[in-house]
Amino acid sequence: MAPLSGVTVLDLTHVLAGPFASHTLGDLGARVIKVERPGTGDDTRAFPPFVQGESGYFAALNAGKASIALDLKSPADRGIFERLLARADVMLENYRPGVMERLGYGWEALHQRHPRLIYGAVSGFGHSGPEAGKPAYDMVVQARGGVMSITGEEGGPPVRVGASIGDIVAGMYLAQGVLAALYDREKTGRGAKIDIAMLDAQLAIQEHALAITAATGVAPGRSGARHPTITPFSTYRAADGFFVIAAGNDAMFARLCAVLGLPVAEDARFATNAARCDNHALLKRLIEAVTLGHPVAHWIAVLEAAGLPTAQVQDMGQVLRDPQLLARAMVLPVAARNGGPAFTAPGNPVKMSSLPEIDHRAPAPALDGDRAAILCWLDEGRSS
């Protein structure tokens, strides 16, 4: 059995941060029931790309979940929701602070009625602080949290990270909080509230920027692909494209010099990591004067043979064909639903000896497509 077998998650979240968290919990064995708005459902059902009118974005994040559409202002639907709460272990929501309280389903009210229920909330700025009620999207917290200030080329404008890390990292922390609360409940018998702010999560992942600023009083700027405190640790040009070299210490740098035929390992300008960081632009020119002479595949083979960390800069098409990822079941088909389109989704990156590996994902749900099955499950619980 999967670690979270028997755990039921009511997922009121939409778009990315919350659905990413419930997706993670589902991968660990939880049953995830999406509670969606009638008529439209999760916003991402309308996000491209589309295949036969269905969203590939939605399918990748919501494969294997169940869906029921409920209007939490309707007495009849509130009745169904109350029955769901009585059988759930976890409820997730990503509304602005105060919305659930106005509906009568805030943490204090639910904790009194369902003391074992775990309440997970993710929002832009959290449920406390002077700006708790402000709206936010991924780009807002990437900007305010400092990530964009260190992303982009030196001298260029700030750049949003290509993946939606404002949402995704918050979703990861929400999943971690739920797991900790489930463990704590085993000891105390009581649920807990998890309050995740996307802005908090952006600060938490900036290990070097925080350390540099706190220690020196000077905030680091943009440095492109180059690591701000390790050199050489960046992208480099080959004859036919880009690859990365990550020589993280002096011994690796000496091996790199030997492989490239560069007689600079003992040069005072490059003999230490601090010196290499001071002279990073010159060192990059020296390295690329050599690497431009051969294609990427040549340098990958040569550097790997010398035990040096390296990789080609792959586009997503190459990533989906990567033999290492395929061997670890990280590219999975999403099964078609009732003759509908098939999609592709990431596999589960959490590999556990007690967690069976899967070779495909169950279909993403149709809006309200599991209502009958969910109501039947509730009736079974009532009779038992």
Of the candidates 170, 171, 150, the one whose C-alpha atom is nearest the C-alpha of residue 25 is: 171
Please list the residues that pair with 311 across neighbouring strands: 244
φ/ψ of 341, rounded to 5, equals -75, 155
Residue in 111, 127, 227, 298 annotated catalytic = 227
Token pair listed for 331: 């590219």
**C-alpha–C-alpha distance, residues 123 and 140, integer Å:** 12
**C-alpha–C-alpha distance, residues 148 and 33, integer Å:** 35
Collect all residues with Cβ–Cβ distance below 8 Å to 268 and sequence separation of at least 6: 275
In b/e form, how buried is each residue of 30-39, taking b as 16+ CB within 10 angstroms?
bbbbbbbeee
Token pair listed for 348: 């589960």
280 among known catalytic residues? no
Is the distance from CB of 166 to CB of 178 less than 8 angstroms? no
Would you state the torsion angle of the CA atoms of residues 359, 31, 123, 55, taken in this order, to the nearest 10 degrees? Answer: 50
DSSP letter string, 21-89: HHHHHHHTT-EEEEEE-TTT-SGGGGPSPEETTEEHHHHHHHTT-EEEE--TTSHHHHHHHHHHHHH-S
Is the distance from CB of 132 to CB of 124 less than 8 angstroms? no
Of the candidates 284, 256, 291, 259, the one whose C-alpha atom is nearest the C-alpha of residue 269 is: 284
| Sheet containing strand 241-246, strands side by side | 233-238, 241-246, 310-312
**C-alpha–C-alpha distance, residues 227 and 208, integer Å:** 9
Q: Looking at the annotation, which residues are catalytic?
A: 227
